[in-house]
Amino acid sequence: MGPRFAQPEIGTSVVEPSAQAAGGLEQIAIRCSFMRGGSSRGGVFLDDDLPQDKAERDAVLLAVYGSPDDRQIDGIGGADPLTSKAAVVKLSTRADADVEYTFYQVGIDNPSVSIGGNCGNMLAAVGPFAIRRGLIPAVEPETVVRIYTTNTKQVVTARIPVLAGEPSCEGDCAIAGVPDTGAAIRLDFGNCAGAVSGKLLPTGSARDRISIDGRNIEVSLIDAATPFVFVNAADIGATGTELPVELRSNDALMSRLEQVRGWAAVALGLVDDASAARAKTPNLPRVIMISPPKSFRAVGGRDVAVADIDICVRQLAMQRPHKALAVTGAVCTAVACSVPNSVIAAAIGKPLQTVRLGHPSGVLRVSSKVKEKDGDVVIESAQIERTSRLIMDGAVYARRRKIAALTTATKVLP
C-alpha cells in the first residue's frame, strides 16, 4: 500500500509538525489518484485518507474540487457534473465483497455533496485503483474484484485486465465520449433491482400517468442499479435527439424534465413536495428522455445512423444535460427494455438482450438477462464494458481556511 499523508484536525489553528510537512500552515495535502473512469473523471481516495465526520469530509471534497464556483477554477473540478465526481475506497469486511466504494457527486456552484445513487463510470476506476494501491493482489491476465457499492448497497463484479502486475490501460475497447481506446473492464451489476427502493418497480406499476405543465403524460420509474424515471420526448415537447447545448438553452423543457424527476423523488419517498427535489436530492432519482431511433449528429460532429441504434436517450445529471450517458443509466435502460408495459419497452417494441443506446456522444451497448418468476421480472445479470486510466497519483492541496468555512456551512445545511 502506498504512503499516506498525515491528516490534521480540520478547522484547527494548531498545526502539528507532521501536518506542516503534509501541506504547510495554509494548506492540507491529501493523497489522491486522479483517474478517468469510463466517460467521467475525478479523484479516487482511500477512506482512511479523508475525515470520517460527514460535514468535514464534504468540506474537504468541496475545497479540493474548487466549489462552490461555476468554473471550479481553484480546484480539480472541471465545471461539469461528469468531472466533479469522487470515489472513496476501502477494504471490505463483507464475505461477498473485496472492497467498498462510495460515490460522491460534488456540487459545482453550490456547497453540496451528494451520495444519492451510484456512478458506474467512476466504478470502472475502483478495481484498478484497488490493485495499484495494494488492496487487492494483481492476478494476470485478469483480476476479479467484487465491489460493494455503499450508495446502493449492491455488489458489482469487475474484471480488470492486468499486465506485468499492473492494471492495463491499452486495448481496443472504444466507448463513446472518450477519444481513445483502452483495455476493456467488464462490469456485471448482477441482480441490481431495488437499489434505493428495494423494488424494481417502486410504484408497483411499470407505467404511471402524471401531469406536467398541464400535459397528461406517461412515465416509468425503474429502480435498477440506480432509479431512473423514463419519459417520452414527444410528450414534453422535445425530439429526443437534442444535444446538451440545445437542452440547456430550452428553459421550458429543462423545467419539465425536472418536474418529472421531482414526481419520481416523491414516489421514492425522498421528498414530500416535488418542488423540493432540486435542493434536497439533486442527484437522485435521475431522469432519461427517450425517443424512437433516428439519426443525429453527436457531440464532436460525428453522424450516428438510425440503423446503429435501438433507442435515443438523453439524461440529466445534477440538473444539467449529460454529455454522454451514465453507466447506471445504461444498465437501468437495458433492464427497463425487458419490463413489460414500460414506456421504453413500448418504444422499442421487441425484447432485446443487448440494446444499442443512442446518446449525445454516440452509441453505447449494454446487455442484460432477465426472467419472469411468479409474474415478476427478475434480473439475472446486467453487463457493460468500460475503460479506465490513471492520470495522476500524488497529493491534492486544499486551503485550510476554506475547509474550515465549508465545514461550518455544511453542518447547518438541511
Joined grid coordinates for residue 86 = 469522487
Residue 10 lies in a domain: no
Whether residue 147 sits in one domain with residue 120? yes
**pTM summary value:** 0.79
Residue 12 lies in a domain: no
Q: Give per-residue pLDDT as tens, 340-366.
A: 899 999 999 987 889 999 999 999 999
Whether residue 165 sits in one domain with residue 99? yes
Confidence check: pLDDT of 8 > 70: no
117 vs 307, residue with greater confidence: 307
Whether residue 177 sits in one domain with residue 32? yes
The torsion of the CA quartet 376, 379, 380, 385, rounded to 10 degrees, works out to: 160
Residue 218 lies in a domain: yes
Residue 192 lies in a domain: no
pLDDT at residue 17 in the model:
38
Q: How far apart are CA 144 and CA 98, in angstroms?
A: 9
Q: Which CATH number does the domain housing residue 318 bear?
A: 3.10.310.10
Residue 55 lies in a domain: yes
Q: What's the whole-number average pLDDT of the chain?
A: 91
pLDDT at residue 322 in the model:
92
Whether residue 371 sits in one domain with residue 299? yes
Whether residue 239 sits in one domain with residue 336? yes
In sequence order, what are the residues at sequence separation of 6 or more whose Cβ sits closer than 8 angstroms to the Cβ of residue 366?
330, 331, 333, 334, 354, 355, 357, 382, 383, 384
Residue 164 lies in a domain: yes
Among 45-54, 168-177, 395-404, the range scoring the smallest mean pLDDT is: 168-177
pLDDT at residue 18 in the model:
43
Comparing CA positions, the residue from 118, 88, 150 lying closest to residue 382 is: 118
pLDDT at residue 20 in the model:
44
pLDDT at residue 7 in the model:
41
* Structural domain count, the chain: 2
pLDDT at residue 262 in the model:
97
Whether residue 265 sits in one domain with residue 329? yes
pLDDT at residue 372 in the model:
81
411 vs 167, residue with greater confidence: 167
Angle 327-337/120-132 helices, nearest 10 degrees? 130
* Cα 257 versus chain centre, distance: 18
Average pLDDT rounded to a whole number, residues 6-21? 38
Give the confidence band of 414 by pLDDT, cuts at 50, 70, 90: very low
pLDDT at residue 412 in the model:
54
Q: How far apart are CA 338 and CA 353, in angstroms?
A: 8
Whether residue 394 sits in one domain with residue 375? no
Confidence check: pLDDT of 4 > 90: no
Residue 237 lies in a domain: yes
Confidence check: pLDDT of 22 > 90: no
Confidence check: pLDDT of 248 > 90: yes
Report the percentage of the chain scoring pLDDT > 70: 93
Whether residue 395 sits in one domain with residue 374? no
Whether residue 335 sits in one domain with residue 231? yes
Whether residue 359 sits in one domain with residue 216? yes
Whether residue 275 sits in one domain with residue 152? no
Domain encompassing residue 49: 17-184+389-411
Whether residue 351 sits in one domain with residue 393? no
Residue 38 lies in a domain: yes
pLDDT at residue 52 in the model:
96
Confidence check: pLDDT of 101 > 80: yes
